[in-house]
Each structure stands twice: as C-alpha cells, then as structure tokens.
Amino acid sequence: MEKETENQIRELQLLEQNLQNILMQKQAFQMELSETENALEELSKSNDEAFKIVGNIMLKYSKENLLKDLKQKKDLISLRLKSLDSQEKSLAETSENLRKKVLSKIKQD
C-alpha cells in the first residue's frame, strides 16, 4: 500500500474519532438541555418559592431570577448544540469524501 494511502487511512481514523467525540458531546448537551427544560417546566408550575443548589447547599432563590438563569442556560446549550451539529456535518462530509478516495485507491491496487 502506498505511503499516501496509509496516511489517508490514519487521517480517516482521526476524523472518525473526532466525529465520535462530537457525538458524545452532543448527547451530553442534549441530556442537559432536556434537564433544563424539565426544570423550567416544573418551576413555572410551582408557587413563588424556589431553591437553587450551590455546591453542597440549597439556597432560597427568587423564582424570576431562577427562570431567567434557566432560560439563559437553555439558550446557551441550544447554541452549543447548533455548533456541534455544524461540526458534525462538516466532519462527516470530510470523512465520507476521504473514505471514498481511500477505497478507490485500494481497489486500484
């Protein structure tokens, strides 16, 4: 096998690893987004009393401030997910193109 083909295979493996890492990050953010949305829903149903966990203690917190914080967190997570989607698309496309190149070279040999 040519040296160039071997390098392309290594590059393809790295791309696949990066893609897996992005998918894992995306999954973690999706879980966090789901938890945040659930917290927002529960908080909107509750009375005016709300609490926030800070470190190992629970503090009384205004419902309005907590809602604001959770909405900002949701927006930030959504933005990160969009960024990861974009990265995933780009890496998947690059990976697929490289895979086609490598397979065609291997078939030629």
pLDDT per residue as tens digits for the range 2-30: 888 899 999 999 999 999 999 999 999 99
**109 pLDDT above the threshold of 80:** no
Confidence of residue 48 (pLDDT cuts 50, 70, 90): confident
What is the average pLDDT across 44-48?
A: 85
Confidence of residue 75 (pLDDT cuts 50, 70, 90): very high
Confidence of residue 1 (pLDDT cuts 50, 70, 90): low
Determine the Cα–Cα distance for residues 63 and 98; give it in Å rounded to an integer.
52
Domain boundaries, the chain: 3-108
Neighbouring-strand partners of residue 51: 60
CATH for 3-108, options being 1.20.1560.10, 3.20.20.10, 1.10.287.370, 1.10.760.10: 1.10.287.370
pTM of the model: 0.83
Determine the Cα–Cα distance for residues 63 and 44; give it in Å rounded to an integer.
9
What is the reported pLDDT for 46?
A: 86
What is the average pLDDT across 49-65?
A: 91
What is the reported pLDDT for 2?
A: 85
Spatial CB neighbours of 25, under 8 Å, sequence gap ≥ 6 = 84
What is the average pLDDT across 60-79?
A: 95
